[in-house]
Amino acid sequence: MVAITSPAFKENAARALADPGLQKALGTAKGAFLQRRAQAVANLPEFERLREIGRDIKNHTLAHLDFYLEAYEAKVKAAGGQVHWCSSADDARAAVLEICRKAGARTVTKGKSMISEELGINAHLEAHGIRPVETDLGEYILQLRQEHPSHIIAPAFHLNREDWEADFRRLHTDLPADRVFAERRDILAEARTKLREKFLQADVGITGANFLIAETGSSVIVTNEGNGDLTQTLPRVHIALASIEKVVPTLEDCTSLLRLLARSATGQDFSVYTTFSTGARRPADLDGPEEYHVVLIDNGRSNMIGTEFQEMLRCIRCAACMNHCPVYGAVGGHAYGWVYPGPMGSVLTPSLVGIEKTGLLPNASTFCGRCESVCPVKIPLPKMMRHWREREFERHLTPAAQRTNLGLWAWFARRPSAYRLATRAAMAALGLIGRGKGAFRSLPLAEGWTRGRDLPAPEPGGTFMARYARGQRGR
Amino acid sequence: MTKDAILGAIRRGLRRGELPADQQAMLGGRLATHPRHLIPARSRLPRPEQVALFIRNVEKEFGTVERVPAPEAVPAALADYLSAQNLPARVVMAPHPELSAIPWAERPLLGFEQRRAQATDQVSVQHGFAGVAETGTLVLPSAPERPTTLNLLVETEVVVLRASRIAGAYEEVWDRLRGESRDAVSGGFMPRNIMFVTGPSRSADIEQTLELGAHGPRRLHVILIDDDPAALPMADVEAPPPVAVPGGPAAPGD
């Protein structure tokens, strides 16, 4: 699997906050997805009802996941495809490599796939002499830069236009050095030309899957660029990578979820290309792959079933949670230190790689609840982050200072009069030094907290309880 | 065996063994009857408005549409479109009987080959299986007479679609496919590939700003044959102005 830097979340976040390029990119991107999603949702009066339906479809599927996976496999086989069941990332990498070797592959094109990032497919193929080429525009530049995605649907979320231009000039050295990128579309056109050659050369195409359909044995991809379709249409062999929770029962179930996906993700009513692949090229077909493989991956998901984290398996990877997250918006995706950033990552990453290394992630939340309020399948993300904090505390993984302070707080919280006395004293002190400033940029003994945030200074008028008591009397 | 290990782990999590036969039969019934969920009301319209909604949505997604009264009018519409876009009058065309039946000879300057697309082809003419008014989506199932590469390798894709094939919602297209399609390999109704295409290719990967023409076609043009008398626009209703001008350059609005 890819290396994990989640234990260094605090250092990662501090670096991110001090990175002007990243802050510029985050600032540019901030409003775009939010506005478009809000508009798309406003244009569909049934959206809230569809969220409930989406949740119910996924819950029904998870409650009968064994049945639907077996039904799905039978249909894939009937359509001339093969399913490779893989428990671990190692199994999946080995399965992909073996298919590529049997195909005599030298070049492999790839559609955008987060499970491929999770498995570390590219490094494994490269280590065995096979060249993987990312074809999604964002993934392409990240491969050139030897970076990982910072967002699950917009992988180059952290880059500015200047970065694109500089990297293309640095790496496409066969093109005139003085060429002009007058507009964004010139960057796009250059990538299109470069990648067209790769699409035509590739021996194997690897895509992910947004959904698997038990009724028909289909894998579904959803893209805007068309790179995923070129990847799964032109090479002789198509491999679809999919984790077990991607299965849904029927086309109707899939359709209802598709109505939620693009609106929640990019704010489109529907993505440009939604494609259903079922088996390999038919005898009379003029195009399409001759082999169709599905690498079906568990890699920790089955362990989540029956736990308080089962609901996380409803996730359809739209990224609405991270688009609406104030923490993600401040530090970007790389700070989270593994494949899946933002609120969904803060719940999923501990489930897949363990809480020992990832304890800071469920703590990287203000619990503002926006993630849950926009989730198309209504995953209670804050609740599950709290479950992880509890597990972390139970297992004594929380840092000693934090445990001591929590203990101290608990002592006061259980003694209301002492609590009020203490808060009144603290407020008076803060009020004294902070009056007229409005907010503290730093505070003695609390630098760790104020480094990344401002603390509002108390308004005159006393504590809530004091005001409440006055209000009662005044009635 | 890995499969058994995964299924076993799932069942342990669900605190049960393999599902009993009666429950399996119930779930099998759900697969066989594939019940519909809530379908948004926006596409439940009289036929003329449904077709108008389809056109509006194609244009909203930066595609273009031209309505023609009959198949005989397609060659002229295509030739005019190509010349308006400064495109060569050579196209690669789906070997579909409905397209073959169009009287192309009336436009002898229009050259075409019926085959799959190659990387050097600039313009394709594809046969539309269906359209979905809900989002202005074209449904293009693969078949020997409808190659997938026509949707992907060209700069400009022209889809010839009959108005009678425009449905309100996706679910109606699934039922049509279940009724009309038979797959030689699986015996089911799903062909190897079905593409749902909504507008021309695009990317927002550079600064989350939409640009048209990523890896697929830069232009998507629909020639809509008005073969459905019930779907014709009502004479006394003035059509709203189109978002994009048919044949004009598509320009992203944001």
For the stretch A389-411, pLDDT in tens is 999 888 888 888 888 888 888 88
CB contact under 8 A, B2 and A85: yes
Check if the beta carbon of residue A305 is closer than 8 Å to that of residue A245: no
pLDDT digits (tens, 9 = 90+) for B2-19: 999 999 999 999 999 999
Answer with the residue of higher pLDDT: B187 or B210.
B187
For B28, the closest chain A residue by CA position comes to A71
| Cα dihedral A22→A28→A29→A34 (10° resolution) | 140
Measured between beta carbons, the chain B residues lying within 8 angstroms of A268 are 198
Q: Is the pLDDT of residue B71 over 60?
A: yes
Q: What range defines the domain where residue A465 resides?
A: 416-474
DSSP state of B146: B
* pLDDT band, residue B77 (cuts 50/70/90): very high
Answer with the residue of higher pLDDT: A415 or B123.
B123
**Within a domain: residue A403?**
no
pLDDT at position B246, please? 43
pLDDT at position B254, please? 36
Beta strands A237-243 and A291-297 are parallel
**Within a domain: residue A424?**
yes
pLDDT at position A359, please? 92
**Within a domain: residue A465?**
yes
Amino acid at A300: G
Amino acid at A457: A
Measured between beta carbons, the chain A residues lying within 8 angstroms of B118 are none
**Within a domain: residue A143?**
yes
pLDDT digits (tens, 9 = 90+) for B16-38: 999 999 999 999 999 999 999 99
Of A154, A230, A310, the CB nearest to B205: A154
pLDDT at position A405, please? 85
* pLDDT band, residue B250 (cuts 50/70/90): very low
**Within a domain: residue A33?**
no
CB contact under 8 A, A270 and B135: yes
Beta strands B193-197 and A273-277 are antiparallel
Q: For chain A, which ranges sit under pLDDT 70? A: 1, 435-436, 472-475
For B208, the closest chain A residue by CA position comes to A29
- Pick the last residue of a domain from A302, A327, A360: A302
CB contact under 8 A, A233 and B149: yes
Beta strands A218-223 and A273-277 are antiparallel
Measured between beta carbons, the chain A residues lying within 8 angstroms of B206 are 137, 156, 159, 161, 164, 184, 187-188
Tokens of A244: 């077990």
Show me where the domains of chain B are located. Answer: 46-231
Give me the number of domains chain A comprises: 2
pLDDT digits (tens, 9 = 90+) for A12-64: 999 999 999 999 999 887 778 899 999 999 999 999 999 999 999 999 999 99
CB contact under 8 A, A306 and B12: yes
Measured between beta carbons, the chain B residues lying within 8 angstroms of A88 are none
What ipTM does the predicted assembly reach? 0.93
* pLDDT band, residue B248 (cuts 50/70/90): very low
pTM, two decimals, is 0.91
Burial class (CB in 10 A: 0-12, 13-18, 19+), A398: middle
What is the CATH T-level fold of the domain B46-231, as seen in this structure?
Rossmann fold (3.40.50)
Element (H, E) at A423: helix A416-434
- Say yes or no: A31 contacts chain B, CB-CB below 8 A: no
pLDDT at position A103, please? 97
**Within a domain: residue A30?**
no
pLDDT at position A432, please? 77
Give the largest CA-CA distance in chain B.
71
* pLDDT band, residue B252 (cuts 50/70/90): very low
Q: What is the mean pLDDT of residues B187-212?
A: 93
pLDDT digits (tens, 9 = 90+) for B149-171: 999 999 999 999 999 999 999 99
Question: Residue A400: how many CA atoms within 13 Å on its side-chain side?
Answer: 0
